[in-house]
């Protein structure tokens, strides 16, 4: 039998697309939480309060708003479980994550025969995947044309595609869904807690799924926020779905949501962790104290600082998200993206390459909303580029960054 020493994991600078650096207050709540089971009164009260805070973060009156234990894809699995074999779906894909969402959709919409024909990559007749090239956004026109042609029961969009760093047209998606009678499902994993939007302004979207580790900043594996409209829940009530654990109606009961009404405390669905509940509760308190709108403005302000600095180093930014820049290296470093990222990661500076072609570099600022933090990221990235043979004047880049921060802050809207 092997005997391992205690696992030590160092502190790193998580400067990628996510996970973001968890706030120390969240970790403190996690380890200051006493030993208590999942039906203890304060744990249940914490879940009810989290549910209420999630409604504020989402900007919704949807009763069915709660957390799904697990990661972003757990929440997406819950939302996409509404899709049954044989349903018609149009899914828009412009990067890694919407591609994986489309795979989930194809698995759920496949008939038994279609699944058996290619179990890991089924191609059901009812699902149309509209591919938009990496680096481009899904436009309202593309959605309108596809929904007009296919008239599906469901339509799917990733609001912010983290793989390519692109913001997709949520308003256009909502409008096309309303016009063509499709029920919209949105992956809001990367936008919730970073962008300023209210889901109730998009009534044709009947289900939303986000994650614990990006804008909500609660990595100690907690909950993927989800929200369902009454229309979605009514349909589920009629048709059901093929899951117990991710069944939106059953899972909601533990959060004190029964028959569309809030009840004082939840009833058992599965064994929730007091530590996870306490951590999420603290993360949501921090987010709401900062304010969703203020946070969005802060991300836009600091993303612009990072964008201008890497541009001054000769990189070309192709993203328009405000938590992340996705860039091409200057021509003389082309092809060295993975080596550069690897060298940074070996030093505890956690940036990322793209996970699907073309290979680009991704640098994120989740929970790095200070001049000091952005300057540290710029400085470390500059050092790594210079070591790889880039030619630029680092003091001049840092000087320009200092000047940006010395100017009075002007509100920046995210580039559409
Ligand atoms: C990160 C991400 C996911 C997956 O989230 P996990 O927490 O890794 O499960 C899905 N969709 C988008 C848009 C993402 O950015």
Q: In the predicted model, is pLDDT for residue 412 greater than 60?
A: no
Q: Classify residue 19 by its DSSP letter.
A: P
Q: Count the neighbouring beta carbons within 10 Å of the beta carbon of residue 12.
A: 12
Q: What's residue 221's pLDDT?
A: 87
Which of these three, 241, 273, 288, is where a domain ends?
288
Q: Over the stretch 150-183, which tens digit does the pLDDT of each residue have?
A: 999 999 999 999 999 999 999 999 999 999 999 9
Q: Same structural domain for residues 54 and 186?
A: yes
Question: Nearest C-alpha to atom 6 of ligand 1 is from which residue?
Answer: 72
Three-class secondary structure assignment of 189-213: CCCCCCCCCCHHHCCCEEEEECCCC
Q: Same structural domain for residues 65 and 165?
A: yes
Q: Same structural domain for residues 238 and 135?
A: yes
> What whole-number distance in Å separates Cα of residue 255 and Cα of residue 281?
13
CATH number of residue 347's parent domain: 3.90.1150.10
Which of these three, 229, 263, 288, is where a domain ends?
288
CA–CA distance from 42 to each of 2, 34, 253, 285 (Å)? 40, 11, 17, 16
Q: Classify residue 416 by its DSSP letter.
A: -
State pTM to two decimals.
0.96
Q: In the predicted model, is pLDDT for residue 411 greater than 60?
A: no
Average pLDDT over residues 244-270: 96
| Residue 349 three-state SS | strand
CATH number of residue 283's parent domain: 3.40.640.10
Q: Is residue 239 in a domain?
A: yes
Average pLDDT over residues 390-416: 83
Q: What's residue 415's pLDDT?
A: 44
Range of the domain at 338: 292-406
How many Å lie between the centroid of ligand 1 and the Cα of residue 75? 10
Please give the number of the atom of ligand 1 that sits closest to the Cα of 76.
10
- pLDDT greater at residue 2 or residue 146: 146
With beta carbons less than 8 A apart as the criterion, state whether 376 and 384 touch: no
Which of these three, 257, 288, 319, is where a domain ends?
288
User: What is the full DSSP assignment across 43-65?
Assistant: HHHHHHHHHHHHHHHHT---SEE
> What whole-number distance in Å separates Cα of residue 185 and Cα of residue 78?
11
Q: What's residue 148's pLDDT?
A: 98
How many Å lie between the centroid of ligand 1 and the Cα of residue 79? 14
Q: Which residues line ligand 1 (CB under 6 A)?
A: 18, 71-73, 97, 158, 162, 187, 189-190, 211, 213
Q: Count the neighbouring beta carbons within 10 Å of the beta carbon of residue 222.
A: 29
Three-class secondary structure assignment of 285-327: HHHHHHCHHHHHHHHHHHHHHHHHHHHHCCCEECCCCCCEEEE
Q: Same structural domain for residues 278 and 307?
A: no
Q: Same structural domain for residues 256 and 321?
A: no
Q: Same structural domain for residues 281 and 304?
A: no
Q: What's residue 356's pLDDT?
A: 83
């Amino acid at each position: 039998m092997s005997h391992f020493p205690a696992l030590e994991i160092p502190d790193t600078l998580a400067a990628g697309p996510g996970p973001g650096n968890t706030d120390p207050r969240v970790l403190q709540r996690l380890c200051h939480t006493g030993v208590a089971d999942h039906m203890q009164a304060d744990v249940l009260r914490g879940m009810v309060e989290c549910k209420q805070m999630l409604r504020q973060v989402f900007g919704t009156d949807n009763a069915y708003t709660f957390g799904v234990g697990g990661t972003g894809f757990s929440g997406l699995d819950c939302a996409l479980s509404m899709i049954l074999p044989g349903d018609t779906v149009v899914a828009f894909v412009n990067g890694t994550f919407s591609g994986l969402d489309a795979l989930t959709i194809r698995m759920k919409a496949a008939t038994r025969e279609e699944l058996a024909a290619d179990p890991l990559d089924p191609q059901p007749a009812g699902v149309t995947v509209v591919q938009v090239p990496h680096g481009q956004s899904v436009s309202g026109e593309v959605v309108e044309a596809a929904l007009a042609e296919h008239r599906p029961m469901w339509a799917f969009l990733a609001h912010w595609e983290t793989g390519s760093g692109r913001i997709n047209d949520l308003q256009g998606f909502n409008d096309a869904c309303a016009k063509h009678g499709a029920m919209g499902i949105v992956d809001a994993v990367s936008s919730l807690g970073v962008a300023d939007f209210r889901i109730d302004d998009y009534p044709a979207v009947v289900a939303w799924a986000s994650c614990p580790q990006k804008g909500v900043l609660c990595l100690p594996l907690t909950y993927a926020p989800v929200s369902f409209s009454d229309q979605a829940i009514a349909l589920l009530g009629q048709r059901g779905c093929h899951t117990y654990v991710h069944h939106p109606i059953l899972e909601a009961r533990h959060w004190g949501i029964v028959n569309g009404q809030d009840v004082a405390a939840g009833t058992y669905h599965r064994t929730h962790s007091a530590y996870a509940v306490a951590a999420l509760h603290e993360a949501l308190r921090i987010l709401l104290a900062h304010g969703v709108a203020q946070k969005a403005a802060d991300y836009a302000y600091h993303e612009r600082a990072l964008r201008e600095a890497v541009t001054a180093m000769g990189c070309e930014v192709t993203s328009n998200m405000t938590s992340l820049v996705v860039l091409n290296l200057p021509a003389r470093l082309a092809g060295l993206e993975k080596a550069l990222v690897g060298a940074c990661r070996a030093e505890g500076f956690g940036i990322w390459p793209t996970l699907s072609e073309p290979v680009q570099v991704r640098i994120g600022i989740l929970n790095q909303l200070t001049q000091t933090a952005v300057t540290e990221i710029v400085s470390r990235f500059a050092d790594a580029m210079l070591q790889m043979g880039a030619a630029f004047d680092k003091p001049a880049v840092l000087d320009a960054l200092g000047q940006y921060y010395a100017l009075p802050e002007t509100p920046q809207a995210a580039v559409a």
